[in-house]
Structure 1
Amino acid sequence: MKKSLLVSLFSMALICMFAAPSVFAMEAPADMLIQAPEGAKAKKKPVNFSHVKHAEFKCQECHHTWDGTSPIKKCTDAGCHDIVAAKGKEKKNIKYFETAYHQTCYKGCHKTLKKAGKKTGPTACGQCHPK
């Protein structure tokens, strides 16, 4: 009796250890097209972005203002890199929005991983922005 109880408890522990995280894991959103917000003039084509390919990273690595419970905002939503907060030339300048993505994705992650000799995503303009 003690042996079967011990085996059962050990089995349950293994199930919890390996299955539970996948049950509670957040499902990655669908792929999306990152484009200039309304009112900003883009010089390059929009970028296709795959959340699935980035699922191994914590959401807060990109969504740096997210508290972990509230709905996740896009970079261009109010409260982040939004056009409402932009001043003067920034309101018409795509660089204000472009910088948010380039600092986080290109310089903050892809370029850093490449320098470390690790597998990474695009590290050149044409690899993200189609011609």
Structure 2
Amino acid sequence: MKSNFLYVGVAVVFAVLVIIYATTTSHLSEEIASISSDKADITNPVLTVSFPVTFEFKRPAELNKTRFSQVKFSHFNHQDVSCVKCHHTWDGKAPVKSCATDGCHNELKAKGETESYFKAFHTLHSDRSCRGCHAEMNKAGKTELKLAPCANNACHVIVPRVAATN
């Protein structure tokens, strides 16, 4: 009889410790991993952020003439990066705007312009651009993402065409 009370007591203590741990820690990766839809809402007492877990960058119409595939992006894979690293004009309160929004990277035709939409993602020596950040990670040995050639790399993945069957 005493052993039953001991097991119940241990189970209650364990359950209380799990509840305390779950309410006092905040792990973004666990919250995102537990989401079954394609949209995540992360809430804390100060801020609620809603974002797509994975998405495909939609190029502005002016840039749709490129032959490279659209870039697929995963917020889940980038959860260790501060939001403002990429969304550098975000104040943490207002909705996040597109890179092509007026005043940000809205130069869509001249790829070489410093604040162009193209440069926002492709500047090699910038820790805010996709290419620059991943090149630094490759150099530091943290990852080995294929960044070149552009036509079939970690960003612009070529999807093989399925042969028609009759």
Q: Which has the higher helix share?
A: 1
TM over 0.5, shorter chain: yes
Which of 51, 55, 66 in structure 1 is aligned with 2:75?
51
Which of 131, 138, 151 in structure 2 is aligned with 1:106?
131
Counterpart residue identity of residue 85, structure 2:
E
Name the CA distance, whole Å, in 1 between partners of 2:156 and 2:27.
Answer: 39
Deviations 1:39-75 (A, max 9, x none): 2332422111111111221100111111111110121
Gaps in structure 1 of 5+ consecutive residues: 1-10
Gaps in structure 2 of 5+ consecutive residues: 1-16, 32-42, 124-128, 159-166
1:25-44 correspondence to structure 2 within 5 Å: 26=49, 28-40=51-63, 41-44=65-68
CA contact (8 A) 1:36 1:97 kept: no
Q: Report the Cα offset of residue 122 of structure 1.
A: 4.5
Q: Report the Cα offset of residue 123 of structure 1.
A: 2.6
Q: Which structure: larger Rg? A: 2
Shift in CA distance, 67/19, structure 1 to aligned 2, threshold 3 Å: closer
Which of 71, 94, 110 in structure 1 is aligned with 2:95?
71
Alignment RMSD, CA only? Answer: 3.0
- With the length of structure 1 as denominator, give the TM-score of the two structures: 0.67
- With the length of structure 2 as denominator, give the TM-score of the two structures: 0.55
Q: Which has the higher strand share?
A: 2
What fraction of aligned residue pairs are identical, expressed as a percent?
Answer: 32
1:111-126 correspondence to structure 2 within 5 Å: 111-119=135-143, 121-124=145-148, 125=150, 126=152
| More RCO (CA 8 Å, sep 6+) | 1
Counterpart residue identity of residue 109, structure 2:
K
